[in-house]
Amino acid sequence: MIRFESDYQEGCHENILKRLSETNLEQSSGYGNDIYCEHAKDLIKKAVGLEQAEVYFLVGGTQTNKIIISALLSPCEGVVCAASGHINVHESGAIENAGHKVLAISSRHDGLLDYKELEDYLENFYSDPTHEHMVQPGVVYISFPSENGTLYTKANLEKIKKICEKYKIYLFIDGARLGYGLMSEKADLNLKELANLCDVFYIGGTKCGALFGEAVVFNNLNIKNFKTLIKQQGALLAKGRLLGLQFEELFKDNLYFELAKHANTQAMRIRRAFEAQGVKLFYDSYTNQQFPVLNKSQFEYLNKDFKFELWQIINEELSAYRFCTSWATNSNAVDALINAIKNI
């Protein structure tokens, strides 16, 4: 059984494993005060082109979203996002647990927040005479790529950033799959450009080569006591060097982007195989997640030898499914899948 269910099914890239072994008995200070974290931060600052950036390492995406968003908001402020945003759906109410409303805007746009809808929302909000009794927008949250594998163009990001500046709202980019987004054949901006178009974002390691780990980058923002906030959320890893060490490997010799590129290449092969069979794609994704719409017999045929995720039931006959590739996806496994697709 070959699995395409998610992009966190395997362990980590071999370089990381090797480095874990080599350094295993070294003695380091805890909580990220170690040379691995120091070095990894330097590598990241260089890669994002922000020498003054503040970089922090966290373990997983939900905790990262929760900590960043709650650090940016005052108690009566909320976070604006597309209704399909991960924080609005699949984080068990982490944001609300921190006291903040998720201000969801319709997501008819393949998971992307439409800048025009955002502007309308904000305009309506401030022109509503009762807005003093409502949750105040304080942060805009977007994912790059979105939960549906789609991408913002540079022009769209610039528009969203401008709107945020106009209304004095922070822009935060969830980069749990950042590598897959930036390495997409459709991406029209690079890491440095993205870093400059937001106030804070993170570089997802868990889904792209690491055992776990997300690197938060604040651009021109200094959150008072941010490390204490991390500790308060139970997210300060005792052996923090494990995070530093992993990002060191990922940002040495461009590994992070190589891995992402590999995953995208495999995903594009799958996409084209489905297209060749006339299978419709639920979202127009050029990243590592593909969402073919299959009928029952097609599903059953593929389901014999492959695991993939039911995404959404469309009607009695049709459903959308998710196939993920990752840094670890074996090219032979994709060959096997493509052969099967040819016979559906």
Q: Which of residues 150-209 bind a second copy (CB under 8 A)?
A: 206-207
Q: How near is the Cβ of 213 to a second copy at its closest, in Å?
A: 10
Number of Cβ within 10 Å of residue 240's Cβ equals 21
What angle separates helix 255-276 from helix 241-250, to the nearest 10 degrees? 70
| Residue 27 engages a second copy in binding (rule: CB under 8 A) | yes
Please tell me the distance from the alpha carbon of residue 271 to that of residue 306, in angstroms, as a whole number.
Answer: 16
Please tell me the distance from the alpha carbon of residue 167 to that of residue 156, in angstroms, as a whole number.
Answer: 17
Q: Which is nearer to a second copy, 47 or 243 (CB)?
A: 243
69 CB-contact burial (10 Å; exposed 0-12 / middle 13-18 / buried 19+): buried
Q: How near is the Cβ of 4 to a second copy at its closest, in Å?
A: 9
Please tell me the distance from the alpha carbon of residue 303 to that of residue 314, in angstroms, as a whole number.
Answer: 18
Q: Which stretch binds a second copy (CB under 8 A): 29-37, 151-159, 186-194, 290-298?
A: 29-37
Q: Which is nearer to a second copy, 97 or 254 (CB)?
A: 97
Identify residues 57-96 at the interface with a second copy (CB under 8 A): 59-67, 70-71, 74-78, 89-94, 96
Q: Which is nearer to a second copy, 88 or 184 (CB)?
A: 88
Identify residues 92-151 at the interface with a second copy (CB under 8 A): 92-94, 96-102, 129-130, 132-136
Q: Which is nearer to a second copy, 75 or 272 (CB)?
A: 75
Sheet holding 200-204, edge to edge: 54-58, 214-218, 200-204, 170-174, 136-143, 77-82, 102-105
Q: Which is nearer to a second copy, 74 or 343 (CB)?
A: 74
| Residue 301 engages a second copy in binding (rule: CB under 8 A) | no
| Residue 343 engages a second copy in binding (rule: CB under 8 A) | no
Q: Which is nearer to a second copy, 63 or 265 (CB)?
A: 63
Identify residues 227-266 at the interface with a second copy (CB under 8 A): 227-229, 231-239, 242
Q: What does the angle CA 270 – CA 273 – CA 277 come to, to the nearest 5 degrees?
A: 140
Instruction: Identify the residue among 212, 258, 314, 340 touching a second copy (CB under 8 A).
Output: 212
Buried b (16+ CB within 10 A) or exposed e, 156-191: bbbbbbebbeebebbbbbbbbbbbbbbbbeebebeb
